[in-house]
Structure 1
Amino acid sequence: MAQVTTGTAAAVALAEALVTEAKRKASYTAVDEHITTETRVVGIGSGSTVVFCVERLAQRVKSENLGIKACIPTSFQAKQLIIEAGLPLAELNQFPDIDVAFDGADEVDAQLNCIKGGGACQLQEKLVASCAKKFVIVADYRKNSITLGEQWKLGVPLEVIPMVYAPLLSKLRALGANPVLRMAMRKAGPVVTDNGNFVIDADFGGIQDPVALERTLIAIPGIVETGLFCNMAEWAYFGMQDG
Structure 2
Amino acid sequence: MNSNLEKAKKLCAFRAVDQIIEDNLVVGIGSGSTIIYGVQRLAERVKSENLKISCVPTSFQARQLIKEYNLTLTDLESNPELDVAIDGADEVDENFVLIKGGGGCLTQEKIIASAAKNFIVIADYRKNSKYLGQNWHTGIPIEVIPFAYVAVSRKIELLYGGKCTVRTSSGKAGPLLTDNSNFIIDWKFPVREQGYDWKRLNEEITLIPGVVETGLFVDITSKVYFGNEDGTITIKPE
Provide the rounded CA distance (Å) in 2 between the counterparts of 1:71 and 1:58: 11
- Specify which of 46, 49, 70 is matched with residue 34 of structure 2: 49
Partner of 1:94: 78
Q: CA deviation at 1:170?
A: 0.9
Q: CA deviation at 1:208?
A: 2.4
Task: Report the secondary structure of 1:136's partner residue.
Answer: strand
Q: CA deviation at 1:242?
A: 1.9
How many residues are matched?
A: 227
Q: What is the aligned-residue identity percentage?
A: 51
Task: Report the secondary structure of 1:238's partner residue.
Answer: strand
Higher-Rg member (1/2): 1
Q: CA deviation at 1:19?
A: 0.4
TM-score where L is the length of structure 1: 0.91
Q: CA deviation at 1:235?
A: 0.3
Partner of 1:215: 203
Q: What is the letter of the counterpart of residue 17 of structure 2?
A: V
- Specify which of 127, 132, 147 is matched with residue 148 of structure 1: 132
Q: CA deviation at 1:172?
A: 1.3
Provide the rounded CA distance (Å) in 1 between the counterparts of 2:8 and 2:155: 40
Unpaired runs of 5+ residues, structure 1, are 1-12
Q: What is the letter of the counterpart of residue 106 of structure 2?
A: Q
Q: CA deviation at 1:205?
A: 2.7
Partner of 1:224: 212
1:121-175 alpha-carbon deviations (Å, 9 max, x no partner) = 0000000000000000000000000111111111110000001111111111102
| 1:18 and 2:4 matched | yes
Provide the rounded CA distance (Å) in 1 between the counterparts of 2:34 and 2:16: 11
Provide the rounded CA distance (Å) in 2 between the counterparts of 1:89 and 1:107: 28
- Specify which of 205, 229, 235 is matched with residue 241 of structure 1: 229
Q: CA deviation at 1:177?
A: 2.5
Partner of 1:74: 58
Q: What is the letter of the counterpart of residue 202 of structure 1?
A: W
Provide the rounded CA distance (Å) in 2 between the counterparts of 1:78 and 1:182: 21
Task: Report the secondary structure of 2:72's partner residue.
Answer: coil
TM-score where L is the length of structure 2: 0.93
Task: Report the secondary structure of 1:49's partner residue.
Answer: helix
Provide the rounded CA distance (Å) in 1 between the counterparts of 2:118 and 2:187: 28
| 1:180 and 2:168 matched | no
RMSD of Structure 2 on Structure 1 (CA): 0.9
Q: What is the letter of the counterpart of residue 59 of structure 1?
A: E
